[in-house]
């Protein structure tokens, strides 16, 4: 049974969610192990809007990771666009649901099933709407188009909201985003470097994870 407050506290504590997409099952497992060794405790496995792999295959991967890392790492589902995907992810053991947008039916189904909701939003109106629907965190997306000052500007009138900067965050600007008011980040290729994965260099993945977790600890 998912403990919502435990998950919320874990996100606030660890502050780095690593986004995994486009990996085979074996690559996913080895990458997760490598990231765990580097200190990562939050991982997002994404659905594919083009259904390749299928939603069922993605849910199976979430289930595999949730079981393998139970009590060690929190696994969530990403690119969740429909309530049916929320249900699949919940059955697979996902702890949180992340979306690129703020669909009311997705947020409400997430909360109905007792999971933590992290929808995507960009403008103040979108952020407020998502929060009113029941979001626990707001994923600022696409953050890669923004400067940290944008989150600072949002945070001034919307200080009751928890913002995650997703996209465009690296080791050089991570501290700036956190100082601006982000409570965490979402990151993909900065840690899951596909070249390292293809080369089987999982120690390299561990090192990238360690650099980010150490940098975050300084924020």
pLDDT in tens, 61-120: 999 999 999 999 999 999 999 999 999 999 999 999 999 999 999 999 999 999 999 999
Q: Give me the mean pLDDT over the 55-62 stretch.
A: 97
User: What's residue 129's pLDDT?
Assistant: 98
Q: Give the model's pLDDT for residue 2.
A: 76
195 has a pLDDT exceeding 80: yes
Decide if 78 contacts 46 (C-beta within 8 A): yes
pTM for the model stands at: 0.97
Q: How far apart (Å, rounded) are the C-alpha atoms in residues 22 and 194?
A: 9
169-190 tens-digit pLDDT: 999 999 999 999 999 999 999 9
Distance CA 159, CA 75 (A): 27
Residue 135 near residue 142 (C-beta atoms within 8 A): no
Decide if pLDDT at 146 tops 70: yes
**Residue 170 pLDDT:** 97
What is the spatial order of strands in the sheet that 138-140 belongs to? 116-118, 96-98, 74-78, 42-46, 16-20, 184-187, 163-166, 138-140, 120-121
Give the model's pLDDT for residue 70.
Answer: 94
Banded pLDDT at 1 (limits 50, 70, 90): low
Closest CA to 219 of 11, 15, 6, 37: 15
Residues with a known catalytic role = 44, 139
- The pLDDT mean for the chain works out to 97
Write down the pLDDT at residue 145.
86
- pLDDT attached to residue 189: 95
């Amino acid at each position: 049974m998912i403990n919502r407050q435990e998950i919320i506290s874990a996100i606030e504590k660890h502050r780095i969610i690593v986004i995994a997409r486009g990996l085979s099952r074996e690559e996913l497992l080895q990458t997760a192990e490598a990231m765990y060794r580097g200190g990562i405790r939050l991982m997002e496995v994404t659905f594919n809007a083009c259904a390749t792999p299928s939603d069922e295959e993605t849910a199976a991967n979430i289930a595999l990771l949730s079981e393998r890392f139970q009590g060690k790492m929190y696994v969530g589902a990403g690119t969740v666009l429909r309530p049916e995907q929320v249900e699949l992810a919940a059955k697979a053991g996902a702890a949180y649901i992340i979306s690129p947008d703020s669909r009311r039916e997705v947020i409400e189904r997430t909360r109905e099933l007792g999971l933590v909701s992290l929808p995507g939003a960009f403008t103040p109106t979108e952020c407020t709407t998502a929060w009113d629907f029941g979001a626990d965190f707001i994923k600022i997306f696409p953050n890669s188009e923004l400067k940290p000052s944008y989150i600072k500007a949002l945070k001034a009138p919307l200080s009751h909201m928890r913002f995650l900067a997703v996209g465009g965050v690296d080791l050089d600007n991570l501290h700036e985003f956190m100082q601006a008011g982000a409570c965490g980040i979402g990151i993909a290729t900065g840690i899951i470097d596909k070249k390292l994965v293809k080369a089987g260099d999982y120690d390299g993945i561990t090192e990238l994870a360690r650099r980010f977790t150490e940098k975050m600890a300084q924020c």
